Structure 1
Amino acid sequence: MLENYSYRTCFLSSIPSSTCSSRSHKNCIFPLTNTTEFKVRCVESERKALLSFKRSLTDPSDRLASWVGKECCIWKAVYCDIQTGYVIGLDLNDRSNNCYWKKLGHLIPGNSTCFGGKISPALLELRYLKYLDLGGNDFQGLATPNFLGSLKNLQCLNLSLSSLVGIPPSFGNLSNLRHLDLWAYSYPIDTVERSWVKDLNWVSGLSSLKYIDLSYVNLSLVKHWLEAFNKLPSLVTLRAVPASIEQLSRLAKLDMGENQLSGPLPESIFNFSELTALRLTTNYALEGNLAQNHFARFHGLTVLSLSCGRSFSVNLTNEWVPPFSLTHIKLRSCSLGPKFPTWLETQKQLQFVILTNGSISDPIPPWLWTLCSQLQWLDLSDNQIGGSLPRLVNFPSTSQNWTVGFYFSYYYGVVVDLSSNRFHGLLPLWPNVTHLNLAKNLFSGSIPLNIGHVMTKLQVLDLSRNAFIGSIPYSITRVNKLLRLDLSDNHLSGKIPHWWYESQQLQVIDLSGNNFTGGIPPTICSPPSFFWLRLSRNNLFGELPKSLSNCKSLLALDIGENKISGTIPEWFGESLLSLQILRMTHNMIDGCIPPQLCQLSSLQILDLSHDHLTGFIPSCLGSFRGLKSMKFYRWFPNYFYFSYVFTPNMELVEKGTKRTYTFTLDQVNLIDLSCNNLHGEIPNEITGRIPEDIERMQQLETLDLSSNNISGSIPLSMTSITLLCYLNLSYNNLGGPIPTTNQFGTFTNPSSFEGNPELCGKPLITDCSLPRKKEMETKIEDDEDEDEIRLCFFVSAGMGFVVMFSVTFSSLMINNSWGYCCFHFMEEVGERIIRFCLGFMACLNRIFSVKRN
């Protein structure tokens, strides 16, 4: 969607380009700068109004620090009329993008530059205000003030991306308004019901309106909303979910992309002879078949953006000569192949070319290789394009004449013919391209060694899912603005380079699914804004370098399916505090799970399965905030622009099945500790016990603790995790009954619990009543043994008493002195025997008691 930005026009002649949204056209010109050279005197009542307005705002970065003193016309963001001194412009738009990224969950250092708080009605004192720009701030769901509709002199009102909710009907009073930007998407609150618009009749009062943007404003409850726009005589650009638009005969730009439109397109759209931009992307329920005759009247068309679907297609023959000259073309999921569409060769002004999932199996044609002077964006991903990328040659810097000709070979790529022309330096292969995406094709051979010397303006290089061989060219370090490097799923080999400190702008590195060997280079965390690292499915070995602790902004670390050894470093929990995804599965990692890992409070995916871990599961794993609350926004950076720069991609074993996640990755909550040597009981903290402070793992969807040595019973508190849809506790030493309430009633597959000999209850066939019966039988047998032992003891003691009594009585009859001596001896022995018997009986009782328990 990047190309949309240059087509947003304020339609103003008296406001600087800086005062309109950053998405506005550059022809916004304001003749007055807020300096003292014009010696404009501030109106006292307006100065007080501005200060009152300032007091109602929150200003974390102190953007309004200049609002001091008596001369308000020299204050930052304030514009006054040169003659009268009245305030006519107020520009509070945050163009640093700091606020925007932060609202979307991106990690930005420093204080937020967002204005927040409340919008004071003191603005009503600015009676001559023509231009008001509050875009790009964060008013956190504050209702759009109704009093803004009383600023009747307004010509430009920009509330885009400001997190204001709703559109008051009082806006219909702004009859002088020319530019109205209400782009809503920037905050979770924009999705709540009170942000939905139910009536657009007020639009008919905007008689001067030329531009309106209602992107991402929910219009699903509005009936006949297009009829209101049909009454606007000056409207040129409408950005918004239509049927009869034939009355908009002067319409120049029509953008209905990123919606849920269904049914056939109105034929009247193709009668707009002044149309310059048509965008219908991502409306997968549209119906119809567009042929070349539909575009016959579009002589001025420069932007064409379409997405095909099951019932919507584009049928353009190779012999077609379009009546227009495009600068932007985006055709997604449209069957253009198998031949590369030759009609594109007639489009000499192309800057953006996006032909994804187009069933093209031809090699890249020579004319596209040489379309180098203005091409900025090339995305040919998800086709079957084969061949090799051209080898880039350093030419001698001489005065010889060179001719550069391209002859394409299906199997061998480009052959360069150098004769009869003046040329020196490097082969000019797309030198101005910033985004090159050739992913999911059939390209082979090596990556051109000089690619970084030629394509120095690259921001995105995506060559993933091809068949490239060789190593990563060192010349990539010459691409100073490179943000994303994705070379995953190729056949690249050798060691991962050490030159990452030369690529300071890098944010994303994905080298997974190759044949790299050696260790993880210690310099890989050199780029300061680095947030995504995937090195999985290689042959990497050795321990994790301590330098990974420098990845302070890292959100995802995936080193799974390698031969990494050693222990999980304790400093993970001290240095990688932003980490949300940690995947170390299928390695040779041993030792215990360090408790410091629990300090990663934002962690939502933890996969330590198929390693050699031992010890207990830390009970503090239940402190992960990412598994406790629902996320309302995507964790990865700005969906609109950055979805072209970076689409998250990760393979996870979730719900027992290996799946690849992209745009839904932020909604996955997973802990997988299976196939290790862990033992002990399942910590209560992992089960989601509900404390009074509502801190629990209620968003946990997948828990896999299989193939360990975990003992104890399944805590009943686990039944409170109502979102848990996959559970695997198999092959442990768990015992007792399996819970049956809440989610546990849905776990009907015995494989989730098998391999636990003492576990019973459904879905296992072991009945929990059988162990009790066996226990009773064992108890009866123990009691019988106990009685027999006691009987034998008492019989023996009795016989001994009889014998001793007989001996004593006989000795008294023979000799009195013998009798007395024998009596005293037997008395002493008897006392000892009694004490022994009492102790022996107590010992027997303890033994039988322990045995019964």
Structure 2
Amino acid sequence: MNSACCLLFLTACYFISYSNCLAGGTHESIHCIHDEREALLQFKQGIQFDRCGLLSSWQEQASQHHLECCQWEGVHCNNHTGHVTMLALRGVAGDQPCLEGTVSTSLLKLKHLKYLDLSLNDFGGEPVPSFIGSFTNLQHLNLSKAGFSGEIPHQLGNLFNLASLDLSCDFGNSYGCPYADSLKWLSHLTLLRDISLSGIDLSQTSDDWYQVANNLTSLSVLHMERCGLSPSILNSISYMNSSSSFSVIDLSNNNFNDTSIFKWLFNLKGIGSTLVHLDLSDNQIPGPIPHNFGKMLSLSYLDLSSNLLQGPIPSAFWNMRSISYLSLAKNQLEGPIPDTISNLKHLSHLILSGNAFQGRRNFPKSLGSLCNLQDIRFNDNNLDDELSTIIQALSGCVRKSLVSLELSQNRIWGSIPDIISTFSLLDGLILNTNRLNGTISPGIGQLQMLEILDLSYNSLKDTISHNHLSNLSRLSILDLSNNPDLVVHISPDWVPPFQLTSLILESCKLGPSFPKWLVTQTNLSYIGISNAGISDTIPTSFWNSLSPSNLVYLNMSYNMISGVLPNLSVTLLKLPIVDLSSNILSGAIPSFLRNATKLYLNNNRFSDLSPFFCPKQKTSLTFLNLANNLFSGEIPDCWMYFDQLLVLHLENNNFSRKLPASIGALTLLYTLHLRNNSLSGELPKSLQNCTSLVILDLGYNTLTGKIPQTIGHSFENLRVLSLQSNNFVGELPLSLCQLSQLQILDVSINHISGILPKCLYNLTAMTGTEDGLPDLYVDNVYNYYVYSEYARLMWKRKEQRFQRSMGQVIAIDISDNELEGHIPEGISSLTGLIFLNLSRNHLSGNIASKVGQLVSLEFLDLSNNHLSGEIPTTLSEVASLEILDLSNNNLSGKIPVGTQLQSFDSSSYMGNPGLCGLPLPKCSGDQPPANNVQEDDAFSEQNEDDSSDILLGLLISVLLGFIIGFWGVFGTLVIKTAWRLALFKFFDDMKEKLYALMVVIVNIAKVWRT
């Protein structure tokens, strides 16, 4: 990269020097060619905006106050002829382009032009001007990042004298980047030394680019990153005239998914002695790293990160003794790293993160001998070793050069050792997300160059005091978060020597007092001290110390912070995320918090909205959460000032009266939560203007009137509609069926009458289990803030909150209403339904015969209706059913036999007199005939006495048999001595035989085991 920049700089200097040389070092004696001056003025007329004043010196006539055109900014002429030879209008004005407009064809009159630079401007997405191909003297052409689009004109192939070509395009250009279907026109430009086509769409060029690069023997610098280049190389490609002068090749961010790119690279003649910079990162190159890299003796920059390289690194790889920057990150490479890495004496940056190089106690000790090494990144490598062992391995000469050490996301354990104090140049120590479980040496305070200290997400057990921090005058980022046993005990009177930009002490023991030393930190942009055990008030001096121009993120949630927030007259310029939720703050919400872009004040004791609402100008708030507070009275009617809101939570307060009409100004609103208040009256008609709504939750209020007939037309994106426990009347509007993305419908506990719409089968989102509530991802400077929406539902007799599992909850609850008529058959087509509750209505008719198609159903409640007929046999096939209630209807017949329906308690079927079969009593058809029962009873009575006589005789017979048998044998043995001795001898012989048999079995078992 440095070589490319140097080459461009030298090229520019050459042309500037060349032009100045022709001009004798001054422009004063040069007179413009009239036609060329007019051509330049016509070009100026096509420029609508000149934010940098690049063309301010371009005036109609030369005079005492107006310069000749050869003296205009960006214009250089030939001193002898006066012809314009250079037009350098590179536009740099911060984040915006200097020039905006069109490129006039009048430039065709500049026939002697050798240098043209229109880069970093905005030409409105117009095509690259094809007339530029007429500038046959042109040697340098730079149209990069200038807002051009469309196909690159093949007429550029006429620029036979061109040495440098830059058409690169920024990723994400609003006009779209230019493209080329063929690059054969490039093959005519035999003098080209520098090509940059980065961002140009070359996906349709087949293998042109390989052949062109091979044939341009003068080519030294090739930039084709993000071009969509194909992965294959035709076997017919010839390497006879391949370039041997490449110094820079950047083909990163393409589509190479095989090893053909290596085949091309290593077939280039002399590549090993000329190539200095190679970037093949962010492709999909598989397989092992080729041995040929060992022959790249001049290579100083190599980036192979973010590919699919695997296996160990070949030993020859470490022969690249000129290498300075080496990145193999985010591959599938394995270790260990051999000691021969010490051959890379010039190595300054070693980036091996995201692989599997290291196992337990296997850190490459030879790194300690690399005296130029400044940057080591071994993060995310499953490194399992004690930190003191790793630091000891780096205690050679590398400790005098090392600037940044990143070992995050491994399995490193132990303490921060004292030897860390000897790494005197260290400005970044990043050890987050490991298993550090010891203490932090005060020696860390000797790292006077330290700017970043990140020990977050470990299990450190220590007390941090000012002794650890008192010498860190350069410290900018301090992150000790998520170490639950780490105590941060700093005297409130201590004045730190540093000015932090980022402080993260979340989930540490920071309290109980508010850290008053924070008032000295006036440059903070990121503050995270949530869940830190603070039970104190926030001093006004803290708010006054904040820099309104810097603050990006402030999170003090999940503490016990109390008191009232001051109403400061400040403007937070960067529209920060402010999270003060889950505390015990009270009083009024101050007006300055309107300057946030995301504001979370839920779960507090705020009671006054008046300072916050009804501002004099519009706000930029996108997220506002005021749920679970003590607000009462009417919701302020000034939502037109909050028209950027995406998420609004006002639930669980005591708001009353009507919903204000200005709520309709929230046309971008994604979710509206007003649950559990005391809102009354009808829904305002303006609500239908909130066409972006995905979640509408108005449950547990006293709202009246009808559900709007237009609901299906107004809220086409609606996934959750929750209106339960209100006083809505009338029929369900037919337009509900047009909510094809609806996932949860809850209108329970109202006064809805009429029939269930037959078109419910149109709720197609209920036919699957795909999550209809994607997360809202919000980018900011320091992290990717994720907001996950949620919905509440009465689930298994208890109200539950569903968030991450929203895709698993597809529900209809219309219980506790006044519905009549039949259950529509089409409801059986909603095969993704998990929850269906139609209980406590006046529904009649049969249960839909195809109810068995609801294969995902876990909860079914049809109780307390007037349903009749039999339970469909298909219901027994719903294996997922966990809760079933069909009680208090007029159902009849036998409960279908199956393992599922018989597993429910009888209460699931009670109140249906005509039902029978398990778990209820048996049906009459399941018992023996009545006459057989009577005969059996008579027979048993007749034989009852006989059976008792037989039992008595049986007992006497058994007893006599035992006495005769016992004394018949043992009495004889007592009387006959010879018989008794013979019996005892028989048992002795049997005992010896059994013992011998057991010995044989044991010996055989021993042989088998061996």
Other-structure match for 1:257: 252
- Structure 1 pair 514/766, CA: closer, same or farther in 2 (3 Å)? same
Deviation sequence 1:360-395 (CA, Å, 0-9, x none): 5779878768978673685836866776699x9xxx
Other-structure match for 2:302: 304
Deviation sequence 1:461-502 (CA, Å, 0-9, x none): 665544567479476663589996374766363545655776
Q: Is the 8 A contact 1:461 1:486 kept in 2?
A: no
2:200 corresponds, among 217, 224, 248, to 217
- Structure 1 pair 312/72, CA: closer, same or farther in 2 (3 Å)? same
Q: Aligned to 1:170, what secondary structure does the other structure show?
A: helix
- Structure 1 pair 321/353, CA: closer, same or farther in 2 (3 Å)? closer
Other-structure match for 1:277: 277
Determine if the alignment matches structure 1 residue 165 to structure 2 residue 160.
no
- Structure 1 pair 134/96, CA: closer, same or farther in 2 (3 Å)? same
| Correspondences of 1:697-846 after superposition (within 5 Å) | 698=692, 701=694, 715=708, 719-720=712-713, 724=717, 726-727=719-720, 729=722, 733=726, 735=728, 737=732, 740-741=735-736, 744-750=739-745, 753=746, 756-758=749-751, 763-766=812-815, 770=819
CA distance in 1, matches of 2:544, 2:352: 36
One-letter amino acid of the counterpart of residue 86, structure 2:
G
Determine if the alignment matches structure 1 residue 174 to structure 2 residue 163.
no
CA distance in 1, matches of 2:190, 2:121: 28
CA distance in 1, matches of 2:360, 2:425: 20
One-letter amino acid of the counterpart of residue 53, structure 2:
D
2:174 corresponds, among 189, 194, 198, to 189
Deviation sequence 1:660-712 (CA, Å, 0-9, x none): xxxxxxxx9844646664735797688563xxxxxx654x5555666777666
Other-structure match for 1:380: 379
CA distance in 1, matches of 2:282, 2:91: 29
Other-structure match for 1:830: none
CA distance in 1, matches of 2:243, 2:817: 77
Other-structure match for 1:347: 344
One-letter amino acid of the counterpart of residue 169, structure 1:
H
- Structure 1 pair 556/350, CA: closer, same or farther in 2 (3 Å)? farther
Q: Is the 8 A contact 1:610 1:676 kept in 2?
A: no
Normalised TM-score (structure 1): 0.65
CA distance in 2, matches of 1:678, 1:598: 28
CA distance in 2, matches of 1:614, 1:524: 33
Shift of 1:176: 1.9
Q: Is the 8 A contact 1:389 1:448 kept in 2?
A: no
Q: Aligned to 1:119, what secondary structure does the other structure show?
A: coil
RMSD of aligned C-alpha atoms? Answer: 5.1
Shift of 1:209: 1.8
Deviation sequence 1:631-667 (CA, Å, 0-9, x none): xxxxxxxxxxxxxxxxxxxxxxxxxxxxxxxxxxxxx
Q: Is the 8 A contact 1:369 1:429 kept in 2?
A: no
Q: Is the 8 A contact 1:606 1:670 kept in 2?
A: no
CA distance in 1, matches of 2:343, 2:579: 45
CA distance in 1, matches of 2:340, 2:21: 48
Q: Is the 8 A contact 2:168 2:196 kept in 1?
A: yes
- Structure 1 pair 169/508, CA: closer, same or farther in 2 (3 Å)? farther
Q: Is the 8 A contact 1:163 1:186 kept in 2?
A: no
Shift of 1:229: 3.9
2:30 corresponds, among 30, 41, 45, to 41
CA distance in 1, matches of 2:525, 2:465: 21
Other-structure match for 1:64: 55
Normalised TM-score (structure 2): 0.56
- Structure 1 pair 162/75, CA: closer, same or farther in 2 (3 Å)? same
Q: Is the 8 A contact 1:607 1:672 kept in 2?
A: no
Q: Aligned to 1:89, what secondary structure does the other structure show?
A: strand
Q: Is the 8 A contact 1:507 1:530 kept in 2?
A: yes
| Correspondences of 1:435-474 after superposition (within 5 Å) | 438-443=431-436, 454=447, 456=449, 458=451, 464-467=456-459, 470=464, 473=469
Q: Aligned to 1:329, what secondary structure does the other structure show?
A: strand
Deviation sequence 1:305-349 (CA, Å, 0-9, x none): 23446x543532799734244322333323456867766554343
CA distance in 2, matches of 1:293, 1:97: 45
CA distance in 1, matches of 2:386, 2:172: 44
| Correspondences of 1:121-520 after superposition (within 5 Å) | 121-166=105-150, 167-185=152-170, 187-191=172-176, 195-226=178-209, 227-236=211-220, 237-240=222-225, 241=228, 242=230, 243-244=232-233, 247=239, 248-250=242-244, 251-269=246-264, 271=266, 272-273=271-272, 274-283=274-283, 286-291=284-289, 293-308=291-306, 312-313=309-310, 315-316=312-313, 321-335=318-332, 344-359=341-356, 375=374, 380=379, 411-416=414-419, 427-431=422-426, 438-443=431-436, 454=447, 456=449, 458=451, 464-467=456-459, 470=464, 473=469, 478=474, 485=502, 487=504, 491=508, 493-494=510-511, 495=514, 504=523
Determine if the alignment matches structure 1 residue 50 to structure 2 residue 21.
no
- Structure 1 pair 15/323, CA: closer, same or farther in 2 (3 Å)? closer
Shift of 1:116: 0.5
Deviation sequence 1:435-483 (CA, Å, 0-9, x none): 765554445678888979856585x766554456747947666358999
One-letter amino acid of the counterpart of residue 155, structure 2:
S
Deviation sequence 1:248-297 (CA, Å, 0-9, x none): 543333323233443444341451424333323333xx252223624222
- Structure 1 pair 282/772, CA: closer, same or farther in 2 (3 Å)? same
Deviation sequence 1:406-448 (CA, Å, 0-9, x none): 9x9962344439xxxxxxxx855445x5x76555444567888
CA distance in 2, matches of 1:461, 1:18: 47
Q: Is the 8 A contact 1:14 1:30 kept in 2?
A: no
Unaligned runs of 5+ residues in structure 1 are 20-27, 100-112, 393-402, 418-425, 629-667, 690-695, 778-853
1:120 corresponds, among 104, 125, 129, to 104
Question: Rg bigger for which structure?
Answer: 2
Determine if the alignment matches structure 1 residue 570 to structure 2 residue 591.
yes
Q: Aligned to 2:174, what secondary structure does the other structure show?
A: helix
CA distance in 2, matches of 1:535, 1:29: 62
Deviation sequence 1:698-738 (CA, Å, 0-9, x none): 4x555566677766655455545677364353656373536
One-letter amino acid of the counterpart of residue 111, structure 2:
R
CA distance in 1, matches of 2:346, 2:335: 24
Q: Is the 8 A contact 2:552 2:576 kept in 1?
A: yes
Q: Is the 8 A contact 2:118 2:146 kept in 1?
A: yes
Deviation sequence 1:524-548 (CA, Å, 0-9, x none): 6416344444555566554445458
CA distance in 2, matches of 1:537, 1:718: 38
Other-structure match for 1:805: none
One-letter amino acid of the counterpart of residue 104, structure 2:
S
Q: Aligned to 2:217, what secondary structure does the other structure show?
A: coil
1:528 corresponds, among 536, 544, 549, to 549
- Structure 1 pair 371/297, CA: closer, same or farther in 2 (3 Å)? closer
- Structure 1 pair 345/410, CA: closer, same or farther in 2 (3 Å)? farther
1:73 corresponds, among 58, 70, 73, to 70
Shift of 1:162: 1.9
Shift of 1:129: 2.4
One-letter amino acid of the counterpart of residue 167, structure 2:
L
CA distance in 2, matches of 1:710, 1:96: 55
One-letter amino acid of the counterpart of residue 739, structure 2:
F
Count residues in correspondence. Answer: 673
